[in-house]
Chain A
Amino acid sequence: MEADDTDGLGGIAVSVAFMGAVLMLFAFVTFAVLQGSEAQRSVGQAEPTLTAPPPAWSELRTRGGFALLSEAGLTLLDMGVWAEALADPASAPGTAEAYLLPADGRGPAPEAFSLTVVSAAGPPERWVAARLVPSADAPCESMPGLLTVWVLEGAGDLAPLIAHAQACGTRLRIEAVGSQLRRLVRLDARDFSAAGMFR
């Protein structure tokens, strides 16, 4: 009777030790598998983050372009039209729905200006430098080094635009503008204040 009890206890000890060994093995195996697995993306992130413009003060201001992103695709605006409007405000092209409103700069810097860009529907054909459907293998000729993209309502996914910019080496500044575009673009001494530069 006593011998049976001892055998029973020995069996329990062996099974506990065995279970312990299995658990240890399981921990090591899990550890090894996790080490080699791909990093998990967060739930809300459709595309992995690509390059962001480096937060950098630079002595040479980067000249860039402007574009509109709508459901029809990416419309790059012709900076020559803006230049014409600034040089001769009376002849600034536009309609009641889409117009450029230039204003002379003030202060000691002659290059200062401000320009209001308004477009209720799509931009008029005269403003357009190029129309693209952004994707990683779309052409790069018309893409500038720095592009400010105004995103209209219903433009959809930004991932193709980011892939396109990445493929062309373009730095993006993306701004959501709602259903119609009304934005002030300006260059003056305020842009060179510490608060304006070091963001």
Chain B
Amino acid sequence: MRLVLMLVLLAAPGSAQEWQRDGLLWQRLPPPDAQVEDPLVDLPRVQAQMAQGCAATPVAFGDTAGMRGAALGDWPRAVRRQVAAASVTTDAAEAAERMEAALATPGLSEAQQATLETQAALIALQLGDPRPARALPDLPTGAPGALRADRIFWRTMGNIHDQRRPDWSAVAAAMEAAYQADSAAFQVRAWRLISWLGAPPPGACTDRVRALGDIALDVSEASACPLMIGHVSHRIDRALTARPDPGAPIATEAEAWRLFTEALLARIVRAERVAGAAEASLRASNAPCRREMLGALAQIGELP
């Protein structure tokens, strides 16, 4: 009789509840959520990325159309030399003069002129002056997509250059337009994710999880590599000037989405400890779309 009683006492706490150790304390986790049936993220795509790992992809990391390999024709030697010199000097006035000299070279095509104008604004931005980038006009629809995307991207970066709290919905709209123009540019994909997380758009939970999942998968498609995901996570934290502490309770809805993204990307690169920590924080929170987020993560976790 006594033996039976002891067995019941020993077995009871472990049976229905899940326990998590935090230092010396054990905490009881809330019961697991009901399974979500429909796939909330593109599971075949997740599987393909897990298999692809660190292999190279068509997504390009260059900061300009030229560095991403866009066909821009032959450059006159004088132009190359002036632009290279402008890319090295630390004097903003000298860089601007050299870019003007390059632009004045006869025989440049329209695409080449547009490239140099964007390049001049980018160099000014690198040297701390966002004004030329802010003044960049849009290119006509017939211009190459990579050039149009660069225009939109660097104008947006100029606009938010010294803002601590940018207008995230405006940034998101600009990044969407840039993505439509050139979907192979990594910087556009990364900033599409950052701007979504900056101001999560309203809508039904399943739609939002699907939309954010697609945008995050666009980023990890570039290279589903732990190191790359680490860099991008760091950049997201810097752009949003806040990092939710994996152990601390989630304070805002935006933090919950941030942690969901972190868990999703971590699961793709099989960083299970990171994914588990973010998932545990989500589970302990009362974020509005918690059930759908956890459902999506569980579906990825079940993949072979």
Task: List A residues at the B interface (Cβ < 8 Å).
Answer: 54-63, 65, 79-80, 82-84, 86-89, 102, 104-105, 107-113, 115, 144, 187-189, 192-194, 197-199
Residue picked from B60, B81, B232, most chain A C-beta under 10 Å: B81
Q: Told that A61-B126, A79-B90, A111-B66 touch, could you supply 15 new A-B pairs with CB distance under 8 A?
A: A55-B230, A57-B235, A60-B157, A83-B98, A87-B81, A87-B85, A105-B84, A108-B70, A110-B72, A110-B75, A111-B64, A113-B80, A189-B67, A192-B62, A198-B225
B195 within 8 A of A: no
B191 CB, min distance to chain A CBs, angstroms: 7
- A84→B67 contact, CB < 8 A: no
Q: Is the interface of B mostly helix, strand, loop or mixed?
A: helix
B231 within 8 A of A: yes
B251 within 8 A of A: no
Task: List B residues at the A interface (Cβ < 8 Å).
Answer: 54, 56, 60-72, 75, 77, 79-91, 94, 98, 102, 112, 115-116, 119, 125-127, 153, 157, 187, 190-191, 222-223, 225, 227-228, 230-232, 234-235, 238
Quick one: closest A residue to B71, CB to CB?
A108
Quick one: closest A residue to B84, CB to CB?
A113
- B61→A194 contact, CB < 8 A: yes
Residues A56 and B126 in contact in the complex (CB < 8 Å), given A105-B80, A197-B61: no
B227 CB, min distance to chain A CBs, angstroms: 5
A191 CB, min distance to chain B CBs, angstroms: 8
Q: Is the interface of A mostly helix, strand, loop or mixed?
A: loop
- A56→B234 contact, CB < 8 A: yes
Residue picked from A79, A87, A109, A199, most chain B C-beta under 10 Å: A109
Quick one: closest A residue to B76, CB to CB?
A110
Residues A144 and B90 in contact in the complex (CB < 8 Å), given A59-B190, A198-B228: yes
- B84→A112 contact, CB < 8 A: yes
